[in-house]
């Protein structure tokens, strides 16, 4: 009878000791694994930190981001045109936050003014921005969207009009040939 509490405490101590040593062996194994594979884990740490930032602290598409993307797009088109001395953007827009469309004016070697419409894609969003569950839109939000739109829809409207103008110009040049 007097041995029963002693046996219970011995069993409890044995279980706790077993669990403690298992966790200790796992910690030692993980430590050795990190030490031996530092080069493998080191270059992946920046990818993991970027993913965490992109998932939990995404960049909101606002007026500043829109203007920055437009600047990137204008520079990309300017460089694709071999950096002309005169390059003036007449009208521009963003379609779906990524496709930059601009109507520009430039002067060629014969001092002839050229007005043209070009497009380029600016890939600024990481994959995490496309990986989200669709949210249910309420009636009030839908009415507000149809009445005022958003920055993205307003930019897309401008860009789509430019895109249609470009398609029309391309069709006219094909008919002339």
What's 24-43 look like in SS3? HHHHHHHHHHHHHCHHHHHH
More confident residue, 7 or 53: 53
Looking only at Cα atoms, what is the longest distance across the chain?
111
The CA dihedral of 18, 22, 23, 25, to the nearest 10 degrees, is 140
The yes-or-no verdict on residue 43 having pLDDT over 80 is no
Question: pLDDT (tens digit, 9 = 90+) per residue, 17-38?
Answer: 899 999 999 999 988 988 887 7
- Is residue 102 pLDDT above 90, yes or no? yes
Residue 16: predicted pLDDT = 87
Whether the pLDDT of residue 5 is over 70: the answer is no
How is residue 96 annotated by DSSP? T
Query: How many CB atoms are located within 10 Å of the residue 101 CB?
Result: 25
Which comes out higher in pLDDT, residue 64 or 50? 64
Q: How confident is the model at residue 68 (pLDDT cuts 50, 70, 90)?
A: very high
Quote the pTM value: 0.64
Q: Which residues, including other chains, have CB under 8 Å from residue 99's CB and lie 6 or more apart?
A: 119, 120, 121, 122, 159
């Amino acid at each position: 009878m007097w041995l029963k509490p002693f046996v219970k405490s011995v069993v409890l101590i044995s279980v706790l000791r077993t669990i403690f040593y298992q966790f200790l062996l796992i910690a030692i194994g993980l430590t050795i694994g990190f030490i031996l594979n530092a080069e493998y884990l080191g270059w992946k740490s920046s990818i993991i930190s970027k993913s965490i930032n992109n998932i939990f602290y995404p960049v909101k598409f606002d007026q500043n981001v829109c203007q920055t993307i437009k600047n990137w797009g204008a520079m990309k088109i300017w460089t694709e045109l071999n950096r002309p001395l005169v390059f003036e953007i007449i009208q521009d827009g963003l379609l779906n936050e990524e496709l930059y469309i601009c109507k520009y004016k430039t002067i060629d070697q014969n001092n002839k003014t050229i007005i043209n419409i070009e497009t380029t894609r600016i890939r600024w969003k990481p994959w995490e921005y496309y990986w989200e569950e669709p949210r249910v839109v309420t009636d009030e939000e839908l009415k507000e969207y149809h009445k005022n739109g958003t920055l993205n829809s307003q930019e897309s409207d401008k860009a789509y009009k430019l895109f249609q103008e470009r398609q029309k110009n391309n069709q006219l040049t094909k008919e002339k040939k």
